[in-house]
Structure 1
Amino acid sequence: MAPRPAAATVLVGLLVIALAGCASPQGATFTSVRAHAQEAVADVVAALPDGAEFTPTGDPTSTACDSGTAGPSGPEGTAFATFHGSAVLPDTADTGAVLTELPTTLGEEWAVEPVGIDTDVATVRVNRAGTGVSVDVTEQAGDGPKTLDILAVSPCGRIE
Structure 2
Amino acid sequence: MTDTERRLAEAEERLALLEGRLARLEDEAAVTALILSYGPLVDSGQAEAVAALWTPDGVYDVDELLMTGRAEIEAMVRSGKHQRWIREGCAHVVGAPRVRVTGDEAVAVCYTLMIVRAPEAGEFTLRRATANHWRLRRGPHGWRVTVRSNRVLDGRPESPELLASGVGAAPERDA
> Under a length normalisation based on structure 2, what TM-score does the superposition of the two structures give?
0.27
Q: Which structure has more RCO (C-alpha within 8 Å, separation ≥ 6)?
A: 1
Structure with the larger helix share? 2
For the pair shown, the structure with the greater C-alpha radius of gyration is 2
